[in-house]
């Protein structure tokens, strides 16, 4: 009986130790560190620029990384505001998918050729609700554009380029169309933008 208790204690201690180790490994994993996640995104963007080619080819290079790093459901929910709760699940899924395609196609369109651009990570700032990874893209002529990546729950939900927030802008823009023309028109406009980019 005593031996059995000892065995259980050893087993339990081992399990706790294993869990602790797993937890430590999870936190130390590059995939969990916002700074390194952004570095990985930038590496893929440089790869796409160096590849050049067609938009479709660059989309194929970028897609997986963007899909893994961005929280498109949060982006979609915040973009349409109160309309989100009124939408059918199929419509919500459709919007999330459209925004993913739009983001990937936009990256593929903007990062189309390599002309000596480089990315610089200047720091990670954390707060109670999330963190911000601050970076610059530096062009070959020395021109710098700041890119700040906002993280919450381990994923990017907003990118701020030279002070202009993608998410805040999208919320106003989509909100205006929803108010003026309604949900079907909003879908039509977004689909048109995606088609033009892809």
Partner 1 sequence: MRNSSKGSGWALILAVCLAATTLGGCATLNGEPFAVQDPFEPVNRKVYGVIDSVDRRVLAPVARGYRALMPNWAERGVGNFFNNLRRIDSVANSALQGKFRHAGEDLAGLLVNSTVGIGGLIDVGARMGLEHHEEDLGQTLAVWGVTRSRYIYLPSGPSSVRDTPGTLFKSWLPELLMSGGYSLWVSLVDLLSIRAAALPLSDARDQAALDPYVFTRDAYYQRREYVIFDGDPPMDDFLEEFDELDESSE
Binding site for partner 1 (CB under 8 A): 74, 77-78, 80-82, 84-85, 102, 106, 109-110, 125, 127, 129-130, 132, 142, 146, 150, 152, 157-158, 160, 162-165, 167-174, 176-177, 180, 186, 189-190, 193, 196-197
Shortest distance in whole angstroms from residue 151 CB to partner 1:
10
For partner 1, the closer of residues 21 and 122 by Cβ is 122
Query: What is the β-pairing status of strands 155-161 and 144-152?
Result: antiparallel
For partner 1, the closer of residues 20 and 168 by Cβ is 168
To the nearest 10 degrees (0 to 180), the angle between helices 34-51 and 89-110 is 60
Q: How crowded is the C-beta side of 80, counted as CA atoms within 13 Å?
A: 24
Shortest distance in whole angstroms from residue 134 CB to partner 1:
9
Shortest distance in whole angstroms from residue 102 CB to partner 1:
8
Q: Which residues pair with 124 in a beta bridge?
A: 133
CA atoms of 5 and 180, how far apart (whole Å):
70
Shortest distance in whole angstroms from residue 104 CB to partner 1:
13
CA atoms of 159 and 90, how far apart (whole Å):
26
């Amino acid at each position: 009986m005593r031996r059995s208790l000892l065995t259980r204690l050893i087993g339990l201690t081992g399990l706790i130790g294993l869990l602790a180790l797993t937890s430590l490994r999870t936190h130390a994993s590059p995939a969990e560190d916002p700074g390194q996640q952004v570095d990985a995104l930038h590496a893929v963007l440089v790869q796409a620029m160096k590849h050049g080619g067609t938009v479709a080819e660059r989309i194929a290079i970028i897609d997986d990384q963007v899909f893994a790093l961005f929280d498109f459901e949060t982006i979609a929910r915040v973009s349409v505001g109160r309309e989100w709760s009124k939408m059918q699940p199929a419509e919500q899924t459709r919007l999330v998918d459209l925004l993913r395609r739009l983001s990937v196609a936009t990256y593929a369109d903007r990062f189309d050729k390599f002309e000596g651009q480089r990315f610089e990570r200047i720091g990670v700032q954390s707060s109670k609700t999330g963190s911000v990874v601050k970076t610059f893209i530096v062009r070959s002529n020395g021109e710098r554009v700041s890119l700040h990546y906002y993280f919450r729950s381990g994923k990017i939900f907003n990118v701020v380029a030279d002070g202009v927030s993608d998410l805040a802008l999208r919320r106003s823009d989509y909100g205006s169309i929803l108010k003026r023309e309604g949900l079907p028109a909003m879908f039509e406009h977004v689909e048109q933008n995606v088609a033009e980019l892809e």
